Protein backbone atom coordinates (compact mmCIF):
# COMPACT_ATOMS: atom_id res chain seq x y z
CA UNK A 1 0.00 0.00 0.00
CA UNK A 2 1.35 3.44 -0.93
CA UNK A 3 2.32 5.85 1.85
CA UNK A 4 -0.29 8.38 0.73
CA UNK A 5 -2.99 5.73 1.06
CA UNK A 6 -1.88 4.98 4.61
CA UNK A 7 -2.10 8.70 5.45
CA UNK A 8 -5.64 8.89 4.08
CA UNK A 9 -6.68 5.82 6.06
CA UNK A 10 -5.11 6.91 9.35
CA UNK A 11 -6.10 10.61 9.33
CA UNK A 12 -9.67 9.97 10.67
CA UNK A 13 -8.21 7.73 13.40
CA UNK A 14 -5.86 10.50 14.41
CA UNK A 15 -8.79 12.93 14.52
CA UNK A 16 -10.80 10.54 16.72
CA UNK A 17 -7.92 10.20 19.18
CA UNK A 18 -7.32 13.95 19.41
CA UNK A 19 -11.03 14.70 19.94
CA UNK A 20 -11.42 12.01 22.58
CA UNK A 21 -8.32 13.18 24.45
CA UNK A 22 -9.84 16.66 24.65
CA UNK A 23 -13.18 15.27 25.86
CA UNK A 24 -11.71 13.02 28.54
CA UNK A 25 -9.38 15.78 29.75
CA UNK A 26 -12.44 18.00 30.05
CA UNK A 27 -14.07 15.34 32.26
CA UNK A 28 -10.99 15.50 34.50
CA UNK A 29 -11.29 19.29 34.67
CA UNK A 30 -15.01 19.13 35.50
CA UNK A 31 -14.43 16.70 38.37
CA UNK A 32 -11.61 18.83 39.75
CA UNK A 33 -13.78 21.94 39.66
CA UNK A 34 -16.67 20.14 41.40
CA UNK A 35 -14.91 18.35 44.23
CA UNK A 36 -11.18 18.29 43.59
CA UNK A 37 -10.94 14.57 42.85
CA UNK A 38 -11.21 12.96 39.44
CA UNK A 39 -11.52 9.18 38.86
CA UNK A 40 -9.32 9.76 35.80
CA UNK A 41 -5.75 10.65 36.70
CA UNK A 42 -4.24 10.84 33.21
CA UNK A 43 -5.41 10.70 29.59
CA UNK A 44 -3.18 9.22 26.88
CA UNK A 45 -3.87 8.46 23.24
CA UNK A 46 -2.21 7.13 20.14
CA UNK A 47 -2.77 5.80 16.64
CA UNK A 48 -0.89 2.58 15.87
CA UNK A 49 2.15 3.00 13.69
CA UNK A 50 1.98 1.55 10.18
CA UNK A 51 4.50 -1.15 11.10
CA UNK A 52 2.43 -2.16 14.17
CA UNK A 53 -0.71 -2.36 12.04
CA UNK A 54 1.03 -4.55 9.45
CA UNK A 55 2.51 -6.80 12.17
CA UNK A 56 -0.87 -7.30 13.83
CA UNK A 57 -2.68 -7.87 10.53
CA UNK A 58 -0.15 -10.53 9.55
CA UNK A 59 -0.34 -12.15 12.99
CA UNK A 60 -4.14 -12.37 12.79
CA UNK A 61 -4.23 -13.29 9.08
CA UNK A 62 -6.11 -10.15 8.10
CA UNK A 63 -5.89 -8.93 4.50
CA UNK A 64 -4.54 -5.39 4.23
CA UNK A 65 -7.67 -4.21 2.43
CA UNK A 66 -9.77 -5.30 5.44
CA UNK A 67 -7.84 -3.69 8.29
CA UNK A 68 -10.40 -0.90 8.74
CA UNK A 69 -13.21 -3.38 9.35
CA UNK A 70 -11.32 -6.08 11.24
CA UNK A 71 -8.80 -4.17 13.40
CA UNK A 72 -10.50 -2.35 16.27
CA UNK A 73 -7.46 -0.96 18.10
CA UNK A 74 -5.85 1.21 15.42
CA UNK A 75 -7.01 4.18 17.48
CA UNK A 76 -6.40 3.87 21.21
CA UNK A 77 -7.16 5.89 24.32
CA UNK A 78 -5.66 4.99 27.70
CA UNK A 79 -7.24 6.28 30.89
CA UNK A 80 -5.10 5.99 34.02
CA UNK A 81 -6.81 5.84 37.42
CA UNK A 82 -5.50 5.88 40.98
CA UNK A 83 -7.76 3.17 42.34
CA UNK A 84 -9.18 -0.07 40.93
CA UNK A 85 -12.75 1.01 41.82
CA UNK A 86 -12.26 4.17 39.75
CA UNK A 87 -11.88 1.97 36.66
CA UNK A 88 -15.48 0.79 36.94
CA UNK A 89 -16.67 4.36 37.61
CA UNK A 90 -14.98 5.50 34.40
CA UNK A 91 -16.40 2.55 32.45
CA UNK A 92 -19.86 3.62 33.63
CA UNK A 93 -19.25 7.19 32.48
CA UNK A 94 -18.33 5.92 29.00
CA UNK A 95 -21.48 3.79 28.76
CA UNK A 96 -23.64 6.82 29.57
CA UNK A 97 -22.18 9.11 26.92
CA UNK A 98 -24.24 9.93 23.86
CA UNK A 99 -21.27 10.86 21.64
CA UNK A 100 -19.89 7.31 21.48
CA UNK A 101 -21.44 3.86 21.25
CA UNK A 102 -20.05 0.96 23.24
CA UNK A 103 -19.50 -2.03 20.97
CA UNK A 104 -17.82 -4.46 23.37
CA UNK A 105 -16.20 -4.69 26.81
CA UNK A 106 -13.56 -7.00 28.27
CA UNK A 107 -12.78 -7.07 31.98
CA UNK A 108 -9.20 -8.29 32.36
CA UNK A 109 -9.20 -7.17 36.00
CA UNK A 110 -11.83 -9.52 37.35
CA UNK A 111 -10.62 -12.12 34.83
CA UNK A 112 -6.95 -11.31 34.37
CA UNK A 113 -4.95 -12.92 31.61
CA UNK A 114 -2.69 -15.86 32.35
CA UNK A 115 0.33 -13.62 31.79
CA UNK A 116 -0.75 -11.38 34.67
CA UNK A 117 -2.07 -8.62 32.42
CA UNK A 118 -4.87 -6.55 33.97
CA UNK A 119 -6.87 -3.80 32.31
CA UNK A 120 -10.45 -2.92 31.36
CA UNK A 121 -11.03 -2.66 27.61
CA UNK A 122 -13.94 -0.96 25.91
CA UNK A 123 -14.36 -0.72 22.14
CA UNK A 124 -16.43 2.33 21.23
CA UNK A 125 -17.64 3.59 17.88
CA UNK A 126 -16.96 7.31 17.53
CA UNK A 127 -18.01 9.55 14.64
CA UNK A 128 -15.64 12.15 13.19
CA UNK A 129 -16.31 14.75 10.53
CA UNK A 130 -13.79 14.74 7.68
CA UNK A 131 -13.62 16.51 4.32
CA UNK A 132 -14.98 13.29 2.83
CA UNK A 133 -17.95 13.25 5.23
CA UNK A 134 -18.80 11.49 8.50
CA UNK A 135 -16.75 8.42 9.38
CA UNK A 136 -17.38 6.05 12.27
CA UNK A 137 -14.12 4.98 13.92
CA UNK A 138 -13.64 2.07 16.32
CA UNK A 139 -11.53 3.16 19.29
CA UNK A 140 -10.11 0.89 21.97
CA UNK A 141 -10.25 2.52 25.41
CA UNK A 142 -8.01 0.89 28.01
CA UNK A 143 -8.69 1.80 31.65
CA UNK A 144 -5.97 0.93 34.17
CA UNK A 145 -4.42 1.93 37.47
CA UNK A 146 -0.90 3.35 37.48
CA UNK A 147 0.43 -0.04 38.63
CA UNK A 148 -1.41 -1.97 35.91
CA UNK A 149 -0.12 0.43 33.29
CA UNK A 150 3.49 0.17 34.49
CA UNK A 151 3.34 -3.64 34.36
CA UNK A 152 1.71 -3.67 30.90
CA UNK A 153 4.38 -1.36 29.46
CA UNK A 154 7.18 -3.58 30.79
CA UNK A 155 5.48 -6.76 29.56
CA UNK A 156 4.94 -5.23 26.10
CA UNK A 157 8.64 -4.26 25.89
CA UNK A 158 9.70 -7.79 26.83
CA UNK A 159 7.30 -9.29 24.28
CA UNK A 160 8.91 -7.10 21.64
CA UNK A 161 12.45 -7.96 22.75
CA UNK A 162 11.84 -11.71 22.79
CA UNK A 163 9.48 -11.67 19.78
CA UNK A 164 6.62 -13.12 21.80
CA UNK A 165 8.69 -15.90 23.39
CA UNK A 166 9.58 -14.56 26.82
CA UNK A 167 11.89 -16.98 28.69
CA UNK A 168 10.18 -18.89 31.49
CA UNK A 169 12.37 -17.41 34.26
CA UNK A 170 11.52 -13.88 33.07
CA UNK A 171 7.83 -14.76 32.79
CA UNK A 172 7.89 -16.07 36.37
CA UNK A 173 9.28 -12.76 37.59
CA UNK A 174 6.60 -10.92 35.62
CA UNK A 175 3.89 -13.01 37.28
CA UNK A 176 5.40 -12.29 40.68
CA UNK A 177 5.42 -8.56 39.90
CA UNK A 178 1.78 -8.75 38.75
CA UNK A 179 0.78 -10.35 42.07
CA UNK A 180 2.68 -7.68 44.00
CA UNK A 181 0.87 -4.95 42.08
CA UNK A 182 -2.49 -6.54 42.92
CA UNK A 183 -1.53 -6.32 46.58
CA UNK A 184 -0.48 -2.69 46.11
CA UNK A 185 -3.74 -1.76 44.36
CA UNK A 186 -5.72 -3.45 47.13
CA UNK A 187 -3.76 -1.63 49.84
CA UNK A 188 -4.29 1.70 48.11
CA UNK A 189 -8.02 1.00 47.90
CA UNK A 190 -8.11 0.25 51.64
CA UNK A 191 -7.01 3.83 52.39
CA UNK A 192 -8.99 5.33 49.50
CA UNK A 193 -10.83 7.94 51.59
CA UNK A 194 -7.70 9.13 53.40
CA UNK A 195 -5.82 9.58 50.13
CA UNK A 196 -8.67 11.52 48.52
CA UNK A 197 -9.04 13.76 51.60
CA UNK A 198 -5.32 14.53 51.47
CA UNK A 199 -5.43 15.33 47.76
CA UNK A 200 -8.53 17.52 48.16
CA UNK A 201 -6.86 19.38 51.04
CA UNK A 202 -3.80 20.05 48.89
CA UNK A 203 -5.91 21.26 45.95
CA UNK A 204 -8.06 23.56 48.11
CA UNK A 205 -4.94 25.05 49.66
CA UNK A 206 -3.31 25.53 46.25
CA UNK A 207 -6.42 27.34 44.93
CA UNK A 208 -6.56 29.66 47.95
CA UNK A 209 -2.87 30.51 47.63
CA UNK A 210 -3.34 31.18 43.91
CA UNK A 211 -6.21 33.59 44.69
CA UNK A 212 -4.15 35.38 47.35
CA UNK A 213 -1.13 35.81 45.08
CA UNK A 214 -3.39 37.06 42.28
CA UNK A 215 -4.89 39.68 44.59
CA UNK A 216 -1.47 40.76 45.82
CA UNK A 217 -0.25 41.13 42.24
CA UNK A 218 -3.27 43.31 41.40
CA UNK A 219 -2.77 45.42 44.52
CA UNK A 220 0.75 46.28 43.35
CA UNK A 221 -0.93 48.46 40.71
CA UNK A 222 -3.02 50.51 43.15
CA UNK A 223 -1.74 50.21 46.75
CA UNK A 224 1.36 51.80 48.24
CA UNK A 225 4.51 49.74 48.59
CA UNK A 226 4.50 49.72 52.40
CA UNK A 227 1.01 48.25 52.52
CA UNK A 228 1.92 45.59 49.96
CA UNK A 229 5.01 44.56 51.95
CA UNK A 230 2.91 44.31 55.10
CA UNK A 231 0.33 42.13 53.30
CA UNK A 232 3.06 39.88 51.87
CA UNK A 233 4.72 39.43 55.28
CA UNK A 234 1.38 38.50 56.85
CA UNK A 235 0.72 36.02 54.05
CA UNK A 236 4.10 34.29 54.47
CA UNK A 237 3.58 34.05 58.22
CA UNK A 238 0.12 32.45 57.83
CA UNK A 239 1.36 30.17 55.06
CA UNK A 240 4.17 28.81 57.23
CA UNK A 241 1.65 27.94 59.95
CA UNK A 242 -0.12 25.68 57.44
CA UNK A 243 -3.57 26.50 58.86
CA UNK A 244 -5.98 26.45 55.91
CA UNK A 245 -8.76 28.19 57.87
CA UNK A 246 -6.44 31.16 58.53
CA UNK A 247 -5.54 31.23 54.84
CA UNK A 248 -9.24 31.31 53.95
CA UNK A 249 -9.87 34.23 56.34
CA UNK A 250 -6.85 36.10 55.01
CA UNK A 251 -8.08 35.55 51.46
CA UNK A 252 -11.51 36.97 52.33
CA UNK A 253 -9.91 40.01 53.97
CA UNK A 254 -7.73 40.53 50.92
CA UNK A 255 -10.82 40.37 48.70
CA UNK A 256 -12.37 43.18 50.76
CA UNK A 257 -9.21 45.30 50.47
CA UNK A 258 -9.04 44.71 46.70
CA UNK A 259 -12.74 45.53 46.32
CA UNK A 260 -12.18 48.80 48.23
CA UNK A 261 -9.49 49.89 45.80
CA UNK A 262 -11.68 48.93 42.83
CA UNK A 263 -14.50 51.06 44.26
CA UNK A 264 -12.14 54.04 44.62
CA UNK A 265 -11.07 53.66 41.01
CA UNK A 266 -14.68 53.95 39.77
What is the Cα–Cα distance from 71 to 66, expressed in whole angstroms?
8
Q: Are 77 and 142 in contact (CB under 8 A)?
A: yes
Residue 81 DSSP symbol: E
Choosing from 18, 72, 105, 140, the catalytic residue is: 140
Q: Running DSSP on this structure, what letter comes out for residue 39?
A: S
Q: Note if 41 is an active site residue.
A: no
Specify which residues 140 forms β-bridges with: 76, 123
| Alpha carbon distance 93, 80 (integer Å) | 14
Contact 60, 67 (CB under 8 A): no
Q: Could you tell me if residue 98 is left (phi over 0), alpha (psi between -120 and 50 degrees) or otherwise beta?
A: alpha
What three-state secondary structure class fits 10?
A: helix
Q: Which residues are catalytic?
A: 140
Amino acid sequence: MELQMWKEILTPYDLAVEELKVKFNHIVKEYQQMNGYSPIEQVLGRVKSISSIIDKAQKKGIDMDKIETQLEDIAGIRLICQFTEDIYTVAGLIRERSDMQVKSEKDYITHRKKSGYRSYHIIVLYKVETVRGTKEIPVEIQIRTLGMNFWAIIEHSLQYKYKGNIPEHVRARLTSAANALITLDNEMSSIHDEIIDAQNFYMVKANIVSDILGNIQNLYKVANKREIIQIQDEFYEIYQEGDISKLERFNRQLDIIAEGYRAQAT
